[in-house]
Structure 1
Amino acid sequence: MAMQCSSTEAPLERVLIAGAGDLGLRVGRLLRERGAKVYALRRHPPVHGDDGLCWIGGDLTAPASLGPLPRSITAVVYAPAPDERTAAAYRALYVDGLRGLIARLDTRALGRVLFVSSSAVYGEHGDDWVDEDTPPAPLTATGAALLEAERWLQAQPLPAVVLRLAGLYGPGRTELIERLRRGQARVPREVVHFANRIHVEDAATAVAHLLARRETAPLYVGTDDSPLPLATLYDHLAALLGVPPPAPGAPPPGVGSKRLSNRRLRASGWTPRWPDARAGYAALLAPD
């Protein structure tokens, strides 16, 4: 394991970001702004990190590669991203990877483990509202792997919290935009299928907010304020892009329709900057 860290300060917060990709890095920067010491773990750290983060090289799917981890960690954010959407990849990263990491941590100072999960664990609910009390029923093996990891973590003698995020969008997450531009997007029109979104910046502030709270619930849903019929969202984006509305087609597989509620997260004091994905996408597409 290679570690890069130029900081010599001794802050109260010492946070390990396990899976320092786009979301993890955004969380790390927010934590640095409030004075935390942040260890950022990923397989290929930058050669010369100049962002104030302490970089650690290691593969969460190969626990032996992690080596000895920093001691006196006060919080862990588990937010990796799989290379592929297969059951094997999800199990290796979320179930086995999480267990391997926790087994190697000095947990004596650990005040919180935050597991970033997905609202895909809820499955299909039509136009019903879904919150933390809704029983999960994932439609896919990948969703089942996430749920298994959640339940394992919450069964451990550790202060754990799970954040189930809606679909992320934001800078660098433009696959939908490109499909609309190419005329390749399809959307269900005969049956309403609800979409739930959260801007990646809001997802990062939600994680940082939950780490800062003295007390938390064991589970939160992370989404914006405005579940939208998929056709409404796609047609709005097509209008912003100046392209034709997408043709009718099947809904996204394995996700399920539902209207996610962020009431618990909002009640904890978090407020999204982008409460409606239409405004968030408009800002993303606006010229600099």
Structure 2
Amino acid sequence: MLAASGKGQDSRSARVLIAGCGDVGSRAACVLREAGAEVFGLRRSSKPLPAGVEAIRADLSDPASLAALPENIDRLVYLPTPDSRTPEAYRRVFVDGLERLLDALDTATLQRIVFVSSSAVYGDHGGDWVDEKTLPQPPGFNGEILLEAERRLAARGLPATVLRLAGLYGPGRDGLLRRLRAGTARVPTTPFWANRIHVEDAAAAIVHLLSLDTPEALYLGVDDTPLTLDVLYGFLAEQLGAPPPPTGDAPAGIGNKRLSNARLRASGFVPCWPDARRGYSTLI
């Protein structure tokens, strides 16, 4: 499934570079290794990578550290994590870092790029459905910078696919559960939609898009079941044995909308965790 054509030979194992090999990247790397791909994980830190993944210690903000990248990379996954939540940090990794990496790579061998973006590029839609055809209207700097990075990548004319992920949850991402236990989570008085994707499904979606022969340029990465915050939080509070969360202001800078995964589903992807209630229950 991940075989790649090469000059002078019928096929060879895919050579995948994951730029920003953190939690989701490492999960994708494991799936790729199991499929027989040769995987390189680029990250700033020296934290060990999964077995079989070749570590590349580099900083996307430092061109000199990108001087000795592996040759003949045919698939690239770009999902770095900014070191702080500031416009400067986001621009450094998502815009400038992407440009530097593409300048350092031999892009002639690239058959597929998956750029991991965010549903933060969408604004408020009053709870209406949002899909890949919806006009982006970023409500915050993070969405604005990610959208700029998407457009710069498209301008390169490379075989690239953007995956805009919804809110991630899963092992190690239990902030909501902690807030519910502490009684600090709030639900707005009017319906406000939560859009989630389990980290394992996010990683699987990345690998799925790498394997498609003719993917679309854009997909939304979200589960099958948008839930209003009162439904999701109320269910989880009951599972935790915590009091129902009190009412409060709607989350800021997100926008009220329901994200559709119809295009991703139509491509053949099937999430393991189609409903966040079930996914969160496994963490409790």
User: Does 2:163 match 1:163?
Assistant: yes
Q: How does 1:242-281 map to 2 (within 5 A)?
A: 242-281=241-280
Deviation at 1:50, TM superposition (A): 6.1
8 Å Cα contact 1:126-1:194 kept in structure 2:
no
In structure 2, give the amino acid aligned to 1:72: N
Deviation at 1:63, TM superposition (A): 2.5
Partner Cα separation in structure 2 for residue 83 and residue 241 of structure 1: 32
Q: Secondary structure at 1:274's aligned position in 2? A: coil
User: Does 2:49 match 1:39?
Assistant: no
Deviation at 1:64, TM superposition (A): 2.3
8 Å Cα contact 1:162-1:220 kept in structure 2:
yes
Mark the CA change 1:50 to 1:94 in structure 2 (over 3 Å): closer, same or farther.
closer
Residue 26 of structure 1: aligned partner: 27
1:61-115 per-residue CA deviation (whole Å, 9 max, x = no partner) reads 2232222211100010001111222111111110111111101001121001110
In structure 2, give the amino acid aligned to 1:132: E
Q: Secondary structure at 2:143's aligned position in 1? A: helix
Partner Cα separation in structure 1 for residue 38 and residue 111 of structure 2: 15
Q: Secondary structure at 1:38's aligned position in 2? A: strand
8 Å Cα contact 1:11-1:36 kept in structure 2:
no
Q: Secondary structure at 1:236's aligned position in 2? A: helix
In structure 2, give the amino acid aligned to 1:282: S
8 Å Cα contact 2:170-2:198 kept in structure 1:
yes
Partner Cα separation in structure 2 for residue 50 and residue 267 of structure 1: 31
Residue 3 of structure 1: aligned partner: none
* Identity between Structure 1 and Structure 2 (%): 57
User: Does 2:65 match 1:62?
Assistant: no
8 Å Cα contact 2:26-2:50 kept in structure 1:
no
Q: How does 1:116-265 map to 2 (within 5 A)?
A: 116-188=116-188, 190-265=189-264
Which runs of at least 4 in structure 1 moved beyond 6 Å after TM superposition? none
In structure 2, give the amino acid aligned to 1:257: N
Deviation at 1:11, TM superposition (A): 4.2
Q: Secondary structure at 2:24's aligned position in 1? A: helix
In structure 2, give the amino acid aligned to 1:18: A
Aligned residues: 274
8 Å Cα contact 1:45-1:56 kept in structure 2:
no
Deviation at 1:186, TM superposition (A): 1.5
Residue 92 of structure 2: aligned partner: 92
1:205-235 per-residue CA deviation (whole Å, 9 max, x = no partner) reads 1000000111100000000001111111111
Q: Secondary structure at 1:249's aligned position in 2? A: coil
